[in-house]
């Protein structure tokens, strides 16, 4: 197989060719490694190669499953692979070796995927950009001056650059959908609990974080989710797995959907015209497909949701820093300044603040319930702006120094009085104000690449569905993929 042929096939096609004996897993792995060697120095998408593990899989010659022999990458956060470190983008964990596979990695392996590396992620997945101090910034294949998003930014960049047709990802506040939107990919954040966490940790972020993938095609997304969804022996409650496999579900185009759309955001009252154009283009395509599409007021209070989301996230990050210290004996210098400051804010706010924010989740669930009485799906931009330039959200060195001092003296209360929470909402969520809703409410949401900016950067649109409507979202995405194809579009670096 020629490199150009490798690039033109999705994972489903590659698996078919392996099964037919037209190409071997070893040949595909060689092609994937060659692509990585060619483009990764410019993208910094892969931060840890796992060549020994991949070679061992190939040599064992016992690959089975729907994706037997297809090269694959996993995220260097919450996707542990036995015998290799999972750094979570942090120096504090960079040498801490996993003693067992995570459940989702086991399912990737059971599907026959050949994992040969780990992808870049911000420290503890805490940002919508991928620029950790430990590994350095990942870059967008469509324009390397821009971010591939986060926190699954390395996975998004690797797929868009043609290293692999799909890669592991996870999503605690948009971390599958943001990279999908930045890189021209498909990114489904599944219903809470559908894809497995554990066994090292239970439901991350009180269930707000979920496991998944980013991919070029909808059928790859459907088949990969078919391979990984479902409860484990350690699940804490039963999950209703789909009666119909997603791969079968996408074969039937939806008809007559009622879709409400909005570009409004209290966090960012003036979304970029390209974001508005992305949604308006999607609305026109949907109307042409026979769906009922209507512009609606924003159906929830996103400013309140942002405060509650960050309050919960600050508390979670404080515990993650403490857990890393306990595991490895890490000191302050092993954490980024921003991480220390945010963790200190979480500690100083106390447990009542986090529990109060968690209690308000029901308000957002009810807001969506009222919306879904009239509409099947909510359509928004995935991003309020095109992908940001690399370094656009970096904290200046002087402020980083101040953050370290404040964290050291436990000055979180003083920090809170400076209004830093409002600043963080604007800086961290201002360009991605639409994605956290699905995480807090547990609802599924998907980003699909229907729009490219005038300068050639992808900018996806997001659909949020009812609880358990993952198959409906994938079916609509497949319909849109046929009506407004994107698979033929490649970043220059991929070619």
Which one from 102, 175, 263, 469 is the annotated catalytic residue?
175
Q: Residue 422 pLDDT more than 80?
A: no
Can you give the pLDDT at residue 313? 95
What confidence tens digit (pLDDT) does each residue in 9-59 have? 999 999 999 999 999 999 999 999 999 999 999 999 999 999 999 999 999
Over range 429-439, report the average pLDDT: 97
Structure confidence at residue 417 as a pLDDT band (50, 70, 90): low
pLDDT digits (tens, 9 = 90+) for 91-135: 999 999 999 999 999 999 999 999 999 999 999 999 999 999 999
pLDDT-above-70 percentage for the chain: 98
Please check whether residue 279 is in contact with residue 381, taking contact to mean a CB–CB distance below 8 angstroms: yes
Backbone angles phi, psi at 128, to 5 degrees: -85, 5
What does the pLDDT average to over 470-474? Answer: 98
For position 238, what pLDDT does the model report? 83
pLDDT at 421 over 80: no
pTM higher than 0.75 for the full model?
yes
H or E segment to which residue 197 belongs? none
Whether 494 has a pLDDT exceeding 90, the answer reads: no
pLDDT at site 428: 82
Counting other chains too, the contacts that 397-403 makes at CB distance below 8 Å and 24 or more residues apart are 399/337, 400/337, 400/338, 401/337, 403/337, 403/338, 403/340, 403/341
Of 15, 10, 83, 24, nearest to 48 by C-alpha is: 83
At residue 202 the predicted structure's pLDDT band, cuts being 50, 70 and 90, is confident
Can you give the pLDDT at residue 407?
A: 77
- Domains of the chain (ranges plus CATH)? 3-252+453-460+467-494 (3.90.1300.10)
- Using CA atoms, how far residue 396 sits from 136, 189, 388, 435, 470, in Å, is 16, 33, 17, 27, 41
Paired tokens of 189:
């954040």
Is 151 one of the annotated active-site residues of the chain? yes
The arithmetic mean of pLDDT across residues 245-264, rounded, is 98
Q: Taking Cα atoms as reference points, which of 53, 57, 63, 72 lies closest to residue 18? A: 63
Q: What is the pLDDT of residue 400?
A: 81
Each residue of 131-140: b (16+ CB within 10 Å) or e?
Answer: bbbbbebbbb
- Euclidean distance between CA atoms 3 and 155, whole angstroms: 20
At residue 240, the pLDDT reads 81
pLDDT band, residue 334 (cuts 50/70/90):
very high
**The dihedral formed by the CA atoms of 387, 388, 389 and 395, expressed in degrees to the nearest 10:** -150
- pLDDT of residue 222 exceeding 80, the answer is yes
- Give 244's pLDDT tier (boundaries 50, 70, 90): very high
CB atoms within 10 A of CB 238: 8
pLDDT for res 305? 96
Measured at the alpha carbon of residue 209, what is the angle toward residues 119 and 167, in degrees to the nearest 5?
A: 30
The answer, yes or no, to whether residue 162 has pLDDT greater than 90, is yes
Q: How many whole angstroms separate alpha carbon 437 and alpha carbon 368?
A: 9
Which is more confident, 233 or 421? 233
233: left (phi over 0), alpha (psi -120 to 50) or beta: alpha
Res 13: pLDDT: 98
As given in the structure block, the two tokens for residue 410 are 């436990």
pLDDT for residue 418: 63
pLDDT > 70? residue 138: yes
Mean pLDDT for 360-384 is 98
> Range with the lowest mean pLDDT among 159-173, 200-214, 232-246?
232-246
Annotated catalytic residue 265: no
Of the residues 88, 90, 151, 428, only one is catalytic, namely 151
pLDDT number for residue 485: 98
| % of the chain beyond a pLDDT of 90 | 87
Laid out side by side, the sheet with 461-464 consists of 46-49, 114-119, 71-75, 166-171, 210-215, 186-189, 445-448, 461-464, 377-381, 258-261, 292-295
Residue 410 has pLDDT above 80, yes or no: no
413: pLDDT strictly greater than 90: no
Lowest mean pLDDT among 44-58, 233-247, 452-466: 233-247
**Whole-number pLDDT of residue 416:** 66
d(CA 110, CA 62): 11
For this structure, is 127 an active site residue?
Answer: no
One of 75, 127, 189, 360 is an active-site residue; which one?
A: 75
**Average pLDDT over the chain, rounded to an integer:** 95
Structure tokens at 91: 């120096």
- The band of 401, judged by pLDDT with boundaries at 50, 70 and 90, is confident
Phi-psi region of 61 (alpha: psi -120 to 50; beta: other; left: phi over 0): left
Residue 82 in this model has a pLDDT that exceeds 90: yes
């Amino acid at each position: 197989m020629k490199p150009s042929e490798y690039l033109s096939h999705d994972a489903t096609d590659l698996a078919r060719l392996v099964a037919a004996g037209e190409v071997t897993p070893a040949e595909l792995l060689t092609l994937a490694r060659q692509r990585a060697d060619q483009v990764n120095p410019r993208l910094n998408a892969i931060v840890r190669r796992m060549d020994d593990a991949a070679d061992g899989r190939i040599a064992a010659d016992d690959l089975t499953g729907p994706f037997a022999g297809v090269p694959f990458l996993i995220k260097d956060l919450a996707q542990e692979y036995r015998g290799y470190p999972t750094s979570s983008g942090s120096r504090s964990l960079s040498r801490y070796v996993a003693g067992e596979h995570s459940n989702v990695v086991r399912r990737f392996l059971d599907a026959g995927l050949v994992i040969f590396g780990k992808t870049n992620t911000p420290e503890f997945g805490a940002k919508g950009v991928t620029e950790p101090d430990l590994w350095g910034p990942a870059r967008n294949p469509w324009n390397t001056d821009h971010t591939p998003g986060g926190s699954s930014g390395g996975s998004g960049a690797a797929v868009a650059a043609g290293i692999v047709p799909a890669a592991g990802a996870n999503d605690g506040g948009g971390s599958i959908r943001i990279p999908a939107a930045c890189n021209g990919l498909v990114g489904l954040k599944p219903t809470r609990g559908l894809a497995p966490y554990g066994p090292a940790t239970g439901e991350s972020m009180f269930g707000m974080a979920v496991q998944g993938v980013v991919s070029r095609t909808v059928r790859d997304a459907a088949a990969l989710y078919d391979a990984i969804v479902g409860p484990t022996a350690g699940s804490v409650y039963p999950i209703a797995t789909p009666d119909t496999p997603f791969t079968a579900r996408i074969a039937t185009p939806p008809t007559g959907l009622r879709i409400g759309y909005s570009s409004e955001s209290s966090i960012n009252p003036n979304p970029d015209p390209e974001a508005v154009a992305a949604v308006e283009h999607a609305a026109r395509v949907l109307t042409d497909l026979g769906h009922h599409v209507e512009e609606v007021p924003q159906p929830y209070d996103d400013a309140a949701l942002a405060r509650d989301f960050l309050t919960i996230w600050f508390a979670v990050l404080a515990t993650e820093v403490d857990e890393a210290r306990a595991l490895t004996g890490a000191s302050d210098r092993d954490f980024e300044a921003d991480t220390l400051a945010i963790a200190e804010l979480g500690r100083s706010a106390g447990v009542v603040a986090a529990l109060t924010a968690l209690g308000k989740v029901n308000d957002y669930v009810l807001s969506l319930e009222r919306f879904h009485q009239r509409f099947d799906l909510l359509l928004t931009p995935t991003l309020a702006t095109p992908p940001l330039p690399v370094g656009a959200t970096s904290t200046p060195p002087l402020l980083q120094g101040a953050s370290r001092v404040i964290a050291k003296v436990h000055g979180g209360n003083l920090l809170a009085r400076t209004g830093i929470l409002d600043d963080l909402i604007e800086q961290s969520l201002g360009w991605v104000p639409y994605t956290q809703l699905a995480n807090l409410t547990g609802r599924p949401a998907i980003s699909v690449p229907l729009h490219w900016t005038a300068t050639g950067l992808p900018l996806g649109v997001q659909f949020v569905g009812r609880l358990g409507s993952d198959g409906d979202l994938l079916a609509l995405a497949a319909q849109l993929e046929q009506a407004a194809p994107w698979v033929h579009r490649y970043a220059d670096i991929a070619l």
